[in-house]
Structure 1
Amino acid sequence: MNYIIVLIVLIVLELLYFKLADRFNIIDKPNERSSHSTVTLRGGGIVFYFGALIFFILSGFQYPWFFLGLTLMTAVSFLDDVFTLSNKIRLLIHFSSVLLMAFQWDLFSMPWYYLLITFIIVVGVINAYNFMDGINGITACYSLAVGALLTIANGQNHFIEQDLLTYSLMGVLVFAFFNFRAKAKCFAGDVGAVAIAFILLFALGTLIIKTSNAIYILFLAVYGIDAVWTIVRRLVKKENIFEAHRSHLYQFLGNEANVNKLVISFSYGLIQLLIGLLIIQFSDQNATAQIIFAVSLLIVLSVIYLILKTYIIKKYVK
């Protein structure tokens, strides 16, 4: 199908969802974690799933186990947006979805600890992606950056059908049109953050398996640094890490330092894109060089992050 037609279909589906969300009051009310002050439509990120769905149909149902996992994950996240489900139900569906994705990767033929590592990484990244979805445009900008890096890597390694990435990222562009603005028309919701994280993780995992090169996990380095150090800080302060909060760096920058939130979102995506381009350049180096590069990169990012966050907190947080 022509890309323009797919784009038009995704726009129409998003607009239809807006009418549905408005009709059934699927909205996001500000709370203690929020960086917004007005009621906004929730779940606009469902268009990411629609992009993957179009690929699945047009491709003759490629990657069926992945898509089944994505569907389950999207469905439970959408229901959680609407009704707030119990943690047990969500965890069960997340576990099942990860197993389906692992089956698509053929990990069941490998040692058991591959499944354990996969489950920890996938669930951890999905939750981090969800927690990081706190200001306008950040999910869209970051997802476009990661998607662009995967597209470049795909041109070199041909590890996945490109249209899965293309159609999903077209969904991100549609969402960005309504979300990347001072007063957003909609938020991604759990359904959007979880869906795009699951799609990008499937592509990223496929790349790592195809190349046997784990350095590509650094395509998620910026989110990873913010998520991990935020958890560490909250643990040190003996806070409940599962409770709503506004202690990520991007939240301190936007809420306390009053930096333009769209600039923050764009910066997160741009920094990840630049880091990812470096990673691609180092991907053909020997293992020792890659390890030195990866460790050095994480140390430098962590130092910059901690210095900036400490400065912001000392100057603006009362």
Structure 2
Amino acid sequence: MLILWMTLVTFITAFILTGLMRAYALKKNIIDNPNERSSHTIPTPRGGGMAIVVTYLSVLIILLCLNYFSITIGFTLIGAGLAIAVLGFLDDHGHINSMIRLLIHFIIAGSIVFALGGFSETVLFNGHVSLGWFANIIAILFLVWLLNLYNFMDGINGIASIEAITTVLSIGVIYWGLNTELMYQPLLLLAASVFGFILWNFPKAKIFMGDAGSGFLGLILGVFSLIALKDSAALFCAWIICLGVFIVDATFTLIRRVLNGHKMYDAHRSHAYQHAAQKYKGHTGTSLAVCLINLIWLFPMAYIASQKYLMPELTLLIAYIPLIVLAVYYKAGNADYDQ
């Protein structure tokens, strides 16, 4: 009953704070003006994701006080989340050099991996492959990539919020059904925080999330994924499956653009989801399609991985095949998209 009340209060708080952030952005002229690389056409306030940050960090403090987390996990989530949010907030107000921003990302990611005790004991493929110390390097790269790709994928109304809500609710259901020490309650409250924001952002955006919100969500989801890896590779695979739309689109797009000679941090609108929004002349259908893919395809595959009905890594591959096909079909990474 306590969690249900906390969920309601969390949603209401995030909704109100988003409205206040919109008023603040309008007053301070923090506006995202459309350009040739934008997927929107109307100048819109940005930075609304700070409502998610403030709401959820407050929730995490309460959960920590109620012993839902160990002190280590609680402080890792709160400290790293706050650091990324502040960095994104400053970037929303004034551009920060991309290399400096990336260096800070690596420092924060390395600190998280250290705080969680490292991942040298990680084994994959039903215990047949041990990554040893190299697993720590992969974990750092994973965190940095996830928080950045979440920013890259936050390009049309509602898509970043829908990805977060469907992912954490799907994993929450899996946790609820498993005999695991990992708890679904923090995930439910994260969904409530994001849901309070999305009502301002979808189907018509009155405010954008901004780097503070997207980076925060990417990092928090990444940390939760690594916490799951501490429990089992199967649960980690479940997380990666649920995040598949973002991971596949962003990774496929980046690889193709680099192979075509573009710089990694050049602004563009050549992701598959952006091409889909262009093809169907609107954001709503594309964002809802992501929701359906997550619920109808990726959630069942994540459940199969978590239950080990198939080898989790094989299930991950199977889950990603249609996503790769979609990335190819919508010419992800191709700047010269032909409808």
Q: Using structure 2 for the length normalisation, give the TM-score.
A: 0.84
Deviations 1:205-258 (A, max 9, x none): 212221232422222211122112212321232222310111111111212x13
C-alpha contact 1:44 1:175 (8 A) present in aligned 2: yes
Distance 1:201 1:144 in 2: 14
The counterpart of 1:12, out of the listed 9, 16, 22, is 16
Distance 1:85 1:308 in 2: 32
1:42 equivalent in alignment to 2:46:
yes
The counterpart of 2:202, out of the listed 158, 168, 180, is 180
The counterpart of 2:100, out of the listed 89, 106, 115, is 89
- The corresponding residue for 2:173 is 152
The CA deviation at 1:284 is 2.4
C-alpha contact 1:54 1:167 (8 A) present in aligned 2: no
Distance 1:286 1:173 in 2: 32
Letter in 2 for 1:167: L
- The corresponding residue for 1:30 is 34
Cα gap change, 1:66 to 1:236, in 2 (>3 Å): same
The counterpart of 1:219, out of the listed 242, 247, 250, is 242
Distance 1:196 1:50 in 2: 12
The counterpart of 1:55, out of the listed 44, 53, 59, is 59
User: Comparing both structures, which one devotes a greater share of its residues to helix?
Assistant: 1
- The corresponding residue for 2:83 is 72
Cα gap change, 1:238 to 1:93, in 2 (>3 Å): closer
The CA deviation at 1:199 is 1.5
**Which of 63-72 and 269-278 deviates more?**
269-278
- The corresponding residue for 1:118 is 139
Q: How many pairs align?
A: 313
Distance 2:114 2:313 in 1: 29
Deviations 1:5-63 (A, max 9, x none): 33322222222222222221122111232111111110111122123212222124541
Letter in 1 for 2:254: I
The CA deviation at 1:286 is 6.3
SS at match of 1:147: helix
The CA deviation at 1:314 is 8.9
The CA deviation at 1:161 is 4.2
Letter in 2 for 1:22: L
Distance 1:9 1:284 in 2: 36
- The corresponding residue for 2:327 is 305
- The corresponding residue for 1:269 is 291
Cα gap change, 1:162 to 1:282, in 2 (>3 Å): closer
Letter in 1 for 2:314: I
Question: Where do 5+ consecutive residues of structure 2 fail to align?
Answer: 122-131
Cα gap change, 1:45 to 1:293, in 2 (>3 Å): same
The CA deviation at 1:185 is 0.5
Q: Using structure 1 for the length normalisation, give the TM-score.
A: 0.89
- The corresponding residue for 1:210 is 231
C-alpha contact 1:252 1:313 (8 A) present in aligned 2: no
1:258 equivalent in alignment to 2:269:
no
- The corresponding residue for 2:269 is 246
**Which of 166-175 and 78-87 deviates more?**
166-175
C-alpha contact 2:301 2:315 (8 A) present in aligned 1: no
C-alpha contact 1:150 1:203 (8 A) present in aligned 2: no
Letter in 1 for 2:52: F
1:278 equivalent in alignment to 2:326:
no
When the two chains are superposed, the root-mean-square deviation of aligned CA atoms in Å is 2.4
- The corresponding residue for 2:127 is none
Distance 1:276 1:316 in 2: 32
C-alpha contact 1:51 1:170 (8 A) present in aligned 2: no
1:105 equivalent in alignment to 2:128:
no
Deviations 1:143-192 (A, max 9, x none): 1111112211221254444342222211211111010123x110011111
Deviations 1:118-160 (A, max 9, x none): 1111111111111011111111111111111221122125444
Cα gap change, 1:163 to 1:242, in 2 (>3 Å): same
Distance 1:109 1:298 in 2: 26
Distance 1:163 1:96 in 2: 29
Letter in 1 for 2:312: Q
Question: What percentage of residue pairs aligned between the two structures are identical?
Answer: 28
